[in-house]
Amino acid sequence: MDCSILACAQQRPPKAGCQTCGIRPMSICACLASDELALLDALAHPVTFGAKETLFVQGQPAEAVYNLTGGAVRLYKLLPDGRRQIVGFALPGDFLGLAMRDAFGFSADAIETVTACAFPRSAYSALVDAKPHLLRRLHDYATHELTLAQEQMLLLGRRNAEERLVCFLLTMRERWARLGRSTTTIELPMSRQDIADFLGLTIETVSRTFSKLARNRKILIVPDGVRLLDLEGMTSLAAA
């Protein structure tokens, strides 16, 4: 079920504070000084979502901005014919809702237990307007998101199944690396069906492609992810 910022705030976990947040160096908040962090901290509502719970729904009034501090989130749009198109996966350090205006343009579900800081949108926008360096950081983040969207369009339009999956795995490796996680074993909290939806493939094709990469000793399939056995070969395939 979706959770409004006020409802979630009533059931929120103990507040750790922005100063001690482990994800802060990797997020937009990294550019803020101590006194500015105190202002942000005053706005923050720590929230927790269980696996499969909804953070927000496409078309719902965009009353909050979310900064993920733990877990992974599935982002998707509902098409007119009722089908679901996954448009991305959010990881710790990612902000959700920044680009929205009156309503959320996509839905967000927790893949696993997720923790986040929710900020009332109007108050957060006022803080951004008062802090030009935070606005610049947001601009950089938006530019990065646009680049990812352009790469996704290329991924879906010009590559075969193996190339799509390899590009996805290498992208996940890069994203986890920014969080200080292993660059050899790639965590994949999302399901094979989620990966298939994101890559524009069937789940059967994704399963066959994982098996092919394993047979060719490019990867080793392990619980909750894959281990890279031939990074050079996979990088060459992605660059083809």
CATH code of the domain covering residue 196: 1.10.10.10
Indicate whether 40 and 121 sit together in one domain.
yes
Q: Is residue 144 part of a domain?
A: no
Q: Is residue 232 part of a domain?
A: yes
pLDDT tens digit string along 62-118?
899 898 999 999 999 988 888 888 999 999 988 888 766 788 989 999 999 999 999
Indicate whether 33 and 85 sit together in one domain.
yes
Whether pLDDT at 232 is above 80: yes
CA separation (Å) from 82 to 79, 85, 130, 190, 217?
5, 10, 41, 21, 39
Q: Is residue 150 part of a domain?
A: no
Indicate whether 12 and 124 sit together in one domain.
yes
pLDDT tens digit string along 172-230?
999 999 888 888 999 999 999 999 999 999 999 999 999 999 999 999 999 999 999 99
pTM of the model: 0.82
Q: How many residues does the chain have?
A: 240
Angle between helices 192-199 and 161-178 in degrees, nearest 10: 110
CATH number, domain containing residue 55: 2.60.120.10
Domain boundary among 82, 115, 131: 131
Indicate whether 190 and 113 sit together in one domain.
no
Indicate whether 180 and 118 sit together in one domain.
no
Indicate whether 37 and 112 sit together in one domain.
yes
Question: What is the count of structural domains for the chain?
Answer: 2
Q: Is residue 151 part of a domain?
A: no
Q: Is residue 147 part of a domain?
A: no
Q: Is residue 216 part of a domain?
A: yes
Q: What is the mean pLDDT of the chain?
A: 83
CA separation (Å) from 113 to 7, 33, 37, 173, 179?
18, 30, 26, 21, 18
| Domain membership of residue 12 as a residue range | 5-131
Please tell me what DSSP assigns to residue 61.
Answer: B
Q: Is residue 215 part of a domain?
A: yes
- In the sheet that holds 54-56, the strands lie side by side as 54-56, 107-110, 73-78, 84-90
